[in-house]
Structure 1
Amino acid sequence: MKNKKLSVLLAAFAVGSTIVQAQEGFKIIGRAPAAKDGSKVYFDYQGAAGEHSDSTIVKDGSFAFEGEVAEPNFARMILDHENKGKYMTQNIGDRLYFYIGNEDYHIAVTDSLHNSAITGSPLHDEYTTFLDEVGGCFIAIMDNASKTAASIPQDDPQYNEKMTALREKVDGILETRRQKELEFAKNNPNSIFSAEALRDVANTHPLSEIEPVLASLSEEVRSLTTAKALTARIIAEKTIQIGNIAPDFTQPDVNGNPVHLSDYRGRYVLIDFWASWCAPCRAENPNLVKAYQAYKDKGLEVLGISLDSKSGRDAWLAAIEKDGLPWVNVSDLNGWSNAVAVLYGVRGVPQNYLIDPEGKIVASNLRDERLHTVLAEVFSNR
C-alpha cells in the first residue's frame, strides 16, 4: 500500500488486543454510610463476554462487585438512593464514570457516589491524570450544560439567545478539550487514553488529521477496540466510495447459516444497515419493501444487516416479521460493533449501499423518494 501510515493501521486492525492485565479479574469494594443501607447499586461495563450489567445493594455500609474484562473500558456505576429503579436514575441520578480494568478498586462514598474517591487502581490514577490534562470528563461537561439549560425559564424573553450562547460556550469548551486530547495523544503513544482521546477528536476533526497520530501510537494501544474501530473508520473512508468494489463479508442469517456478499455477484443488491430499536429504520422499512416489490423481478436484491445485540435477538426477529421484510437478514448481534458495520464505517442507521452486478458501489444513503428515483434509473433498460 502506498500510504505507509495506513499500512501500519491495517496491521494493527488485523491483530487482537495485547493489553496486559494485572490479574485475571477485577474486584470492587465500596464503602458507604450506613444511612445508604438498602440502596441499589447498578454497574454497567463491557465484560469479557460482551456487554454486562450487574447490580447489588448496600448492606452494612458496603457493597461489592467482581468480574472480568478483556481490556480496559469505560464503565458506569449508579447509586439509587431512593430505589427509583435504573430507568429513572441512569441519566440523571447519582452516577460515577470510570475505567474498569482487571484490578482492585476501593470506592469510598461520602455524600454521593459522584463525589466518591477511588483508590487502589493504577488505571484509575492514569485516567484522572488524563482528565486533568484535557479539561475534565466529557459527560460532566454535558451534565453541567444540561443543568444550566434547565435553569433558564422557557418564558424568559431572552430564552433563545441564552440557549444559543450556552451552546456556543459548550462547543468552545469541547473544541478546546479536543485540541488538548490531540496533543495528549501525540505526547503519550503508550497510553490507552490516547486511543480514547482520538476517538473523541474524530467526532469533529477530519480523519486525515487523526490518521498519522493514530499510526504513531504503540502497537499495544492500536490493538485496543477503540483504536481498531477508529482504524476501520479511516480505512472505510478510503475504500467505501462510489465506484469502488464493495468489500466482501460473511455474516449468519436468522438460522445461523453463513451469507456472503459475493453470493449476490451478478445482481444488484442493496445492503441495508438497520436495527429493531431504530425508529427511523422501522419507519423507512415500508418504503424499502415497496421498492423491493417493484424491482425484484428485474434483479434487485436486498440484504439486511442488523445492528441489534445478542440481548436484542428476539426483538430483531420480531421486527423482521412485523415489518414484513422478505429478503435475507443477517447479523453477528454485536450491536454497533457489528463487523460489517465497522468494515463499512457505519456510524448511524438507517444507512445503505447499492452494489451493481460487478460488485461496485453505485449509490448510498437511498431513502424516501430518492430510493425509487435511483432504482428507476438503474433498471430503466432492464
Structure 2
Amino acid sequence: MRYFLIITLMALTSLTESLFGQVKINGNLKALGNSSVLIQYYEGNISKSVNLKVTDGKFSWEAPVTEAQKITMIFPGRAIYLFIEPGNINITGSRDSLEQLKITGSKINDEALAYAKTMKVFEEEQKPLLLQYGKLAGEEKTALEEKLADIVSRKNTAANDYIAAHGQSAFSLNLVTEYSRLGNYEDVLRMYGLLSKKMKSTAEGQRIAERLVILKRSAAGEKIMDFTKKDDKGNPVSIAAFKGKYVYIDFWASWCAPCRREIPNLIKTYNTFKDHNFTVVSVSLDDPTDKDRWLAALTSLKMPWTQLADLKGWDDEIRLYYGFNAVPSTLLLDPNGTIIAKDLRGVALDKKLKELFL
C-alpha cells in the first residue's frame, strides 16, 4: 500500500507539473506558409527566445512557464504581443490580419483584450487631437496640450482603479510593468502598492521592485548624479558647474524626431526664463556613428545652451543610471542640484517654471 501511495503521489506531482508548470501553444495561421516564428519570453527571471519552424502555417511550442506573462511573437515582417499562462493555448487566423487572431486557452489574454476595449474611449479622444498637434501654435497649441494631458491623466486614473480592483491579476501586474518602463517613481510605486503579495512575489513582481530602485534615483528630492561630459567643442563640462541655477537637463538624440520637434518650444521657454536663474543643458544619446549628424543638428537647431555628449548611445552612463528607456527624457534641478521634476515638457514645463519664478 505504501508503494502504491508513493507511486500515486509521484504521478499526481507529474500531472500537476504538466498542467501548471508548462505552456503549450499550437498555431495554425493562413498565409504563413513554410517560414518561422520567433518567441521572446521569460523562464523565471531568465529572458529567453526560441525560433520555431513553421510548416504549412502550423507551429507548436512547449516551455516550462510557471507564471502568466506577456510574450512577443515575431512573424516574418511583423510582431505581436499576447498573454500566456500554463496550459494549452491555440492560435488561429491569418498572417495577413494578426490583429484579428483568435487565441483560446488563456484567460489572461481574454482579460487583456477586455481591458483594451475599455481604453478605446481614450484613444478615440486622442486621435483627432494628435492630428492637429503639429498644425497649431501659441494659445491654440497650449489648449491642445492641456486637453492631451487631461486624457493621459484620466487614462492613468482608470489604470490605477483597475489594478486596485484586480490586485490578484497577472494582467494588473503587467500593467504596472508597462508603466514602469517610462513612468516616474511615485506613480509606479503607487501602482505597485495596489498589487497583492502573491503578484509581488512573482518573478515579474521582483523585476518591478528592481526597476523601482532605479526609478527612485530620478524621484523628486534626489540629488543629481555627479557627472562630467565633453561639450561640442571637446571641452569637459561638469554638471556641478551649474550649481546655483535651476537646470533643465534634456536627454535627446539627433535621430529622435519628437526631440527635434520639441526644441523650438524649449528655445522659447529658455528665452522666457533665462533671466530668472534658469538654464538648459542638453545631453545627447547619439552614438559614435552619429557624431556628424549630431554636430549638424546643433548647427541647424541653434540651441543657445550647453551641449554635452559622450557619444556612447544607449550605453551612456547617465542613461543607464537613471534607466531612461526613451528620448526625450528630462530632469529639472534646483540650485542645489536636487531633482524637483521629471519629464516636464511644453505646457507642463512652463507652468512649473512660472510657479518657481513668477
Give the alignment's TM-score, normalised by structure 2.
Answer: 0.48
